[in-house]
């Protein structure tokens, strides 16, 4: 939560350039933005960085947001674009040093079962193609309606539905669950 506090302080420092509604709406969206960012990036540290970059970009481009339009869609679009840009830039630098399954043997008591299952779901999500992962995150994690999720992703609703179905089926298959 220290990262969240830093982001809140950043927003408050920029308060003189923001309208009250913009500032309040941005602060209210912070937990949702952070959750979405962590879901896209796959870990809290990178998710917090993505969230902070998104808020910084939104503050720098505050004049481009039109009052009366959906701030959440605008913020998700900013975050999605930054995430895509980062993914493209880091694709060549990414290298795995430890096998993913190495973490499954850490700890052995029953209290960690939920953490292991969540970790398995997270790993399975990271194996999905970006478009399918985004659709699953927007609809199944963030709870957006199909139309809203399609608008955020910038695709027709039929494309989003297709990505969601394929992503959900692939996720179930990766987790060894019947479809």
pTM for the whole structure: 0.53
The mean pLDDT of 132-137, rounded to a whole number, is: 92
User: Are the CB atoms for 13 and 28 separated by under 8 Å?
Assistant: no
**86 DSSP 8-state letter:** H
C-alpha span between 66 and 112 (Å, rounded):
46
Is pLDDT above 80 for 178?
A: no
Q: Using 50, 70 and 90 to split pLDDT, how confident is the model at 158?
A: very high
C-alpha span between 45 and 31 (Å, rounded):
15
- What backbone phi and psi angles, to 5 degrees, belong to 30? -50, -45
C-alpha span between 149 and 151 (Å, rounded):
5
Q: Which residue has the tokens 């027709």?
A: 156
Q: Which domains does the chain have, with CATH numbers?
A: 1-90 (1.10.1740.10), 112-179 (1.10.10.10)
Six-digit token pair at 148?
Answer: 């809203």
Helix segments in 14-141, DSSP class H: 20-41, 44-60, 71-90, 113-127, 130-136
For residue 1, the model assigns a pLDDT of 55
User: Are the CB atoms for 138 and 149 separated by under 8 Å?
Assistant: yes
């Amino acid at each position: 939560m220290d990262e969240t506090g830093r982001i809140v302080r950043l927003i408050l420092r920029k308060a003189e350039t923001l309208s009250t509604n913009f500032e309040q709406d941005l602060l209210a969206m912070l937990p949702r933005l952070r959750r979405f960012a962590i879901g896209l990036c796959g870990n809290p540290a990178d998710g917090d960085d993505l969230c902070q970059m998104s808020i910084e970009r939104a503050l720098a481009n505050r004049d481009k947001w039109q009052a009366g339009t959906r701030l959440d869609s605008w913020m998700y679009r900013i975050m999605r674009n930054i995430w895509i840009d980062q993914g493209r830039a880091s694709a060549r630098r990414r290298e795995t040093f430890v096998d993913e399954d190495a973490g499954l043997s850490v700890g052995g008591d029953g209290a960690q079962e939920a953490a292991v299952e969540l970790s398995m779901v997270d790993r399975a999500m990271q194996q999905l193609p970006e478009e399918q992962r985004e659709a699953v995150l927007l609809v199944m994690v963030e709870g957006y309606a199909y139309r809203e999720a399609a608008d955020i992703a910038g695709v027709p609703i039929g494309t989003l539905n297709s990505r969601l179905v394929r992503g959900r089926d692939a996720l179930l298959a990766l987790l060894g669950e019947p479809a």
